[in-house]
Amino acid sequence: METLDKIKLIYSFTDNDASNLMQLSGLMGSNANDFISNTYSFIANFDDFSKFLPDEEIRNRHQEKLKFWFMGLFSGTYNNEYLRKLKRIGEVHAEIKLPSHYVSATMNYIRNFTHGIIFRNFPSSGKRDELIASVNKIIDINLDIIISSYISEGKFYIAATKFETKIIKFSSKFSYILDLSLVISLIVATIMVFLLFAFEIYNFAFGGGDFESTVVDILGAMLIVWAIRELLEEEVKKLQGHKFALSAFIGLAMAALLRKILIFSLVPQKSTEVAILGFLVLVLGIVYWLMNKSSKS
């Protein structure tokens, strides 16, 4: 796992850099409002600025967060919590599908803006060059981590050869078609379970089916419909470019086992099977809970 210490080492970011940046904190704080207005004038030129930041409420919220991030550059404390926050910023931008070039271009603008302040306030070269070098390091570290979150989200891949590019394009189209066929199959499966549902009611009403087993069969069918619905929702999310939540499959397995338990519970001789299935549901339940917990944290 990456730690900020490792990244600092790669960038030769020393305690002296941290202290240089901290020295700039007051000066940058007094320019924070200018920072926001100038940076916003810059990003307002992007074609789809209004698509990503459509109204005053979102812009104000973003400006607050941007200001907080800017002041964080000069806090002097760069630990793993700082790293986590930067990764989060990358993930938020990747999630809204903001082109990574926008972040890089904005970072370039912020670098020049910060240099400008230093140039105006430190006319002689010695200390000024040292401050500029430290600012460059922290901005490069920020850009690196924010953009890495895009890469780890799988948003872009640099192929080495044309053949590789073709293979990648083909496999991504193929996987898209597979996803689409999965969605269609899931819809068909749902319709079939509904037919089963209708058949159970018909059988009970006109075929003299047993009341208890009809109720259990209907409950079982409902469980399966619920689980397929979850799976379908995840599959559609995947088609829209989101991550697939594997926990939906665990949900489906749990629903299938619960259905079996419901059916077996009507047969007294099947109590061992019911106990084994119950244990399996418990194990799957723990896995489901753990997966949901880790995806939230």
Q: Min. distance of Cβ 91 from ligand HEM in angstroms?
A: 8
Name the residue nearer to ligand HEM (CB basis): 50 or 271: 50
Angle at 226 between CA 221 and CA 229, to 5 degrees: 125
Q: Min. distance of Cβ 97 from ligand HEM in angstroms?
A: 10
Q: Min. distance of Cβ 199 from ligand HEM in angstroms?
A: 48
DSSP one-letter code for 54 = -
In which residue are the tokens 């809204």 written? 96
* Interface residues toward ligand HEM, by CB under 6 A: 43, 46, 49, 52-53, 58, 61-62, 65-66, 69, 88-89, 92-93, 96, 98, 102-103, 106-107, 110
Name the residue nearer to ligand HEM (CB basis): 101 or 120: 101
Q: Min. distance of Cβ 66 from ligand HEM in angstroms?
A: 5
- Straight-line distance from the first to the last Cα atom of the chain, in angstroms, rounded to the nearest whole number: 16
Name the residue nearer to ligand HEM (CB basis): 85 or 243: 85
Q: Give yes or no for a contact between 164 and 102, defined as CB atoms under 8 angstroms apart.
A: no
76-88 in b/e burial notation, b at 16+ Cβ within 10 A?
A: bebeeebbeebbe
Name the residue nearer to ligand HEM (CB basis): 107 or 274: 107
Nearest to 31 by CA among 110, 106, 85: 110
Q: Min. distance of Cβ 154 from ligand HEM in angstroms?
A: 20
In which residue are the tokens 């995806």 written? 295
DSSP one-letter code for 75 = S
Q: Min. distance of Cβ 102 from ligand HEM in angstroms?
A: 4
Name the residue nearer to ligand HEM (CB basis): 44 or 184: 44
Name the residue nearer to ligand HEM (CB basis): 6 or 61: 61
In a 10 Å sphere around its CB, with 0-12 CB exposed, 13-18 middle and 19+ buried, how is residue 20 labelled?
buried
Q: Side chain identity at 210, as an amino acid letter? A: D
Q: What is the rounded CA–CA span in Å between residue 257 and residue 287?
A: 15
